Amino acid sequence: MATIVDFRAEKPNWCPGCGDFTVLAALQKAAVNIGLEPEEMVTVSGIGCSGKLSQYMGSFGFHSLHGRSLPVATAVKLANRDLTVVAAGGDGDGYGIGMGHFIHAMRRNIDITYLVMDNHIYGLTTGQTSPTSDKGSKTKTAPEGAVEEPVHPLQMAIMAGCGFVAQGYSGNLKQLTELIEKGIQHRGFSLINIYSPCVTFNKVNTYDYYKANLVNVDDDASYDKTDRFAAIRKIEEAEENVTGILYHDPSKQAYDEVLRGYPEQAIAKNDLKFTREQWEKLAVQFK
């Protein structure tokens, strides 16, 4: 049985205090708690500080292009449904250039767990306004304060039909580990947005800020996580400063379960040897 050590790869070189350390630790602990082996898992990342996750996680990994972690993760999952596939990115990667992929992966209900390390800023490129930067926040690209409204990924995910929507925080390793475990165990697309403070370029959305403002719905026995409209109301009431499983609907079938003719055996395990007749038939298509 694999241990945490088995899921360690390169030594991380994030800034000291970066929230991404906790995300990596939570992912490693979740994989061990579920009983995964490193060869049963693939971590796919995009570009940004979060993009290093696939190199630091001791599973199979793929460091893809900016905003492209979900298309790659989709291909991996559909080629080998036996693998546990985790996609990762930052708020700029996932909700900026990757926004189209985000919506369509949820709409198709691909069986992927998507971790978005949301620090409300472009950290790797030294502090520009990102899609989730608060209106009025001052950055290198908005020295007088951002004038655009931020995107609202939690509400967008719920309205797009995502069956598992949760939010965690890098200051709570225990809860974040549990959220990732449950996200992986959910059959279908699961979004876990994670407030992961950028200690270098964001001096507003800090650990102290989140400690003072976050509300944990997992501590509220009266909260009904199966009610999508109640989830949206709760998120808006808390101005998105909320953690826990916000919405869960396990009834929707995953893409590979409803795709007509999709083989039971993983495509990657099929015998790919061609007969001469099959080669000739294939070659005709490219003439």
SS3 8: strand
pLDDT of residue 145: 94
| pLDDT band with cut points at 50, 70 and 90 for residue 142 | very high
> Of 107, 104, 106, 102, which is closest to residue 88 (Cα–Cα)?
102
CB 208 within 8 A of CB 220: no
Please indicate, yes or no, if residue 238 is contained in any of the structural domains.
yes
- pLDDT digits 0-9 by tens, 102-119: 999 999 999 999 999 999
Please indicate, yes or no, if residue 5 is contained in any of the structural domains.
no
- pLDDT digits 0-9 by tens, 118-133: 999 999 999 999 999 9
173-185 helix and 20-34 helix, angle to the nearest 10 degrees: 50
- pLDDT digits 0-9 by tens, 144-202: 999 999 999 999 999 999 999 999 999 999 999 999 999 999 999 999 999 999 999 99
Q: Which structural domain, as residue segments, surrounds residue 204?
A: 19-285
CATH number assigned to the domain comprising residue 202: 3.40.50.970
Please indicate, yes or no, if residue 7 is contained in any of the structural domains.
no
Please indicate, yes or no, if residue 123 is contained in any of the structural domains.
yes
Please indicate, yes or no, if residue 126 is contained in any of the structural domains.
yes
- pLDDT digits 0-9 by tens, 202-261: 999 999 999 999 999 999 999 999 999 999 999 999 999 999 999 999 999 999 999 988
Q: Distance between CA atoms of 50 and 28, rounded to whole angstroms?
A: 15
Secondary structure E strands in 76-130: 84-90, 113-118
Please indicate, yes or no, if residue 13 is contained in any of the structural domains.
no
Q: Is the pLDDT of residue 56 over 80?
A: yes
Total domains, the chain: 1
> Of 104, 105, 124, which is closest to residue 114 (Cα–Cα)?
105
For the record, the structure tokens of 254 come out as: 């995953």
Please indicate, yes or no, if residue 117 is contained in any of the structural domains.
yes
Please indicate, yes or no, if residue 2 is contained in any of the structural domains.
no
